[in-house]
Amino acid sequence: MQIRLDGLENALKRVAPPLVWVHGDEPLLRIEATDAVRRALRESGFDEREVFSVERGFKVEALLAETQSLSLFATNRLIELRLNAKPTKELGQALAHAVQDLPDSMRLLASSPRLDRATLDSAWFASVDRYAWVVPVFPVERARLPQWIAQRLATQRQQADADTLEFLAERVEGNLLAAHQEIRKLGLLFPEGRLPEEEVRQAVLNVARYDAFGLADAMLAGDVARTLRSLDGLRAEGEAEPLVLWALADAIRNLARLAQARDTGRAPATMMRELRIYGAREALYQQALRRLGSAELTRALQAAAGIDRIVKGLTRGDAWSEMTSLATSVAGAGALAGN
C-alpha cells in the first residue's frame, strides 16, 4: 500500500504493518520520514532495534534469522534495513517471505534510494506490498522551494517575505540538506516572528557559514592540521553545534553515496553531478574516496548519528570532542575501525 509522504504522520497514528519502506533520492526527506516511523514505533513499545546495512558482504540469511528469532528480553523489536542501491532479487524474495510470518512483536523498516519501475513491477515486490506501507519521497521542485522553506520556518514560528524566501531558495540551489541547515541557523540567530530581510542575507552570507564548509573541505582533503584549526576556531567563535555537525555529516553522506556508486560499478562522476558537486570540490571528494571505503563511511555516518543524539540532549557526551574525533578520523588521523 502506498502512503504519501504528507500523509505519513496521520498513517502512523494507526498500527503500522509488518514493513514500512521509505524510498527516494532526497536524503533529508528520507531521513525525516524514517525518523518519524522509528519514533512512532518506539512510542508504541518497539524499544529494541537492530540495524542492517546492505553493502558488500551483507548476508540475506542473517536478516532472515533475525526476523525468526525471539528477543532475549521479551520486548518488541524493530529491524531496520538500510539500502544504498537497488535491492537484489534475493533480498526482495527474502523480505517477501519474512513479512508473511512476521510476529506481532516485530516490525521492519527499510530505506533505500528510489525504487525503479522494474522493481515496483516485480513479483516479489507485489508480495511485499500486501504487507507494507511504501512511502515514496520525491525532490522538491525548484518552483515550490520558497513555499517549502516558508513551511519549515513556520515550524520555528518564523516568517519571511517573498524576496527573502526566493533569496534562500537561490542560495541552496535545490539542496534540501543545505536548506535545512540554513533554516536551523535562522532559528538559532533570530527570535520568533518576522525575519528582517537584510539581516537574514548577512547571516546566510556570513563567513562563519563558509568556515563550517571550509571545515568539511579540510576533512575531505585529508588536512588534519587544518581540520583541527577549523574546529577550534568554530568552537571559540561559539558556532552552533548542529550547524557544524550538519556540514560534516553532509560531506560524509555524499562520500558514502559516491563510494557505493564506485563499488557497484557506477561512475562516481555521474553521481557527483546528481549530488551537485562541482569544480574544486570534485577533487576533494576524489581525494577522500581514495583513502576511505564504504564500510568506513558507514561507521562514520553511525558516529555522526551518535553525535546528533548528544547535540539533542538524548545521550551524554561532549559533542565537540566527538566531532573532532570524527572529522580527524575521516581526514586520516585515525582509523574508523569496526567493532
> What pTM value is reported for the model?
0.59
Dist CA 38 CA 36 (whole Å): 5
All CATH 1.20.272.10 domain ranges of the chain, comma separated, are: 208-330
Dist CA 121 CA 25 (whole Å): 19
Q: Report in angstroms the alpha-carbon separations of 81 from 21, 43, 55, 167.
A: 9, 20, 11, 38
The three cell numbers locating residue 334: 585515525
Quote the pLDDT of residue 303: 94
Dist CA 238 CA 194 (whole Å): 25
Quote the pLDDT of residue 209: 47
Within the chain, which residues score under 50 in pLDDT? 206-210, 338-339
The residue written with cell numbers 570534485 in the block is 282
All CATH 1.10.8.60 domain ranges of the chain, comma separated, are: 142-205
Quote the pLDDT of residue 149: 95
E strands in the chain: 19-24, 48-54, 77-83, 106-112, 132-137, 158-159, 193-194
All CATH 3.40.50.300 domain ranges of the chain, comma separated, are: 5-137
Number of residues written out for the chain: 339
CATH superfamily of 5-137: P-loop containing nucleotide triphosphate hydrolases (3.40.50.300)
∠ at Cα 70 (77, 48), nearest 5°? 25
The three cell numbers locating residue 23: 524510498
Query: Is domain 208-330 annotated with CATH 3.30.70.1350?
Result: no
Which residues contact residue 92 at a Cβ distance below 8 angstroms, ignoring those fewer than 6 apart? 119, 122, 124, 125, 128
Q: What is the CATH number of domain 142-205?
A: 1.10.8.60
Q: Report in angstroms the alpha-carbon separations of 205 from 45, 145, 201, 235.
A: 45, 19, 6, 19
The three cell numbers locating residue 22: 521509505
In the three-class reduction of DSSP (H, G, I as helix; E, B as strand; rest coil), residue 111 is classed as strand
In the three-class reduction of DSSP (H, G, I as helix; E, B as strand; rest coil), residue 122 is classed as coil
Nearest residue to 186 via CA among 215, 155, 210: 155
Dist CA 160 CA 154 (whole Å): 9
